[in-house]
Structure 1
Amino acid sequence: MKNNQGDGLMAYISRQDCGKAAACALASNDYHSAILNINGAEAMTISKFIEIGNEATGNNVSYQEITDEQNYAIFDAMGVPRTTDGKFKKNSEAPFSSDGMVTFGQAIREGKMSLKTNNFEKLTGDQPLTVKYMFEHSDDFQIGARHSQDK
């Protein structure tokens, strides 16, 4: 796997947990004007994320750090538009704009996503799903068509 996150930390969280946190915030009178960082169970590098994924799936995916421009080139070759104004390829492997994905990787690399909070637990009363759980139940967490041949 190639991307531009480097050794930056990110506390990965599932979209299901994000939805749960939003629903709890809307249902509560305490959070209507609050700004909360909602994140997962553990801050980790993309290398650790991949290691957990390999252990859970039996795959042997490796990580290679690339520059932002190299990351754009990969998305360009896949037909991913740089902005949301672009034309999206039907059944795209990446149904998002590359500007969003590359700048997200840059933010992680630069340490802007490393903050780990317990706001999810305070808001919902639950623990967030772990990365390991998400890999073990990967069919429940897929977005877009899957075409990767990585093993």
Structure 2
Amino acid sequence: MRDEPRTGDETTVLLAALQSHRDVMLWKLEGLSEEEQRRPLVPSGTNLLGLVKHLANAEYGWFCETFGRPTEPLTDISEDPEADMRAAPGETTQEVVDFYRRSWAATDASVRELGLDATGTSYAGATVSMRWVLVHMVEDTVRHAGHADILRELVDGGTGHHVPRG
């Protein structure tokens, strides 16, 4: 667990909260084989690596596409709305993790360069503020970190909701 700021400006506090749970998402992959990371353990097919890929796509979408900033090619969900929840055949854990880390850099730059009061247009056509998007992404990441807690426990009994200090 990172030492999150308990005081400070809104941007710093919100980005630190997001980063704390981004770190959890990657920690939940540690020590598992590729097969274990991809193993669907619930009827929906949700798996650890797919959650990470989904969050990478979500960060790029919300923080880049919404605000007209450059993004990497995102997973095409036009034919399959759940395609971003699975690693594609041949797509490695390292590729997904690297994609996620690059999305962090793009997100953080977008937030810092545009500011919380910037507005953009969501994929659904709604006008949204950067502040709303950042809070939404914290919520989404925390939600999926909870899913990852359960999936990791089902894979190997591993528990914990924060990266241990080391």
Higher relative contact order (CA 8 A, sep 6+): 1
Question: Does TM, normalized by the shorter one, top 0.5?
Answer: no
Structure ranking higher in helix proportion: 2
Q: TM-score range by the shorter chain?
A: under 0.3
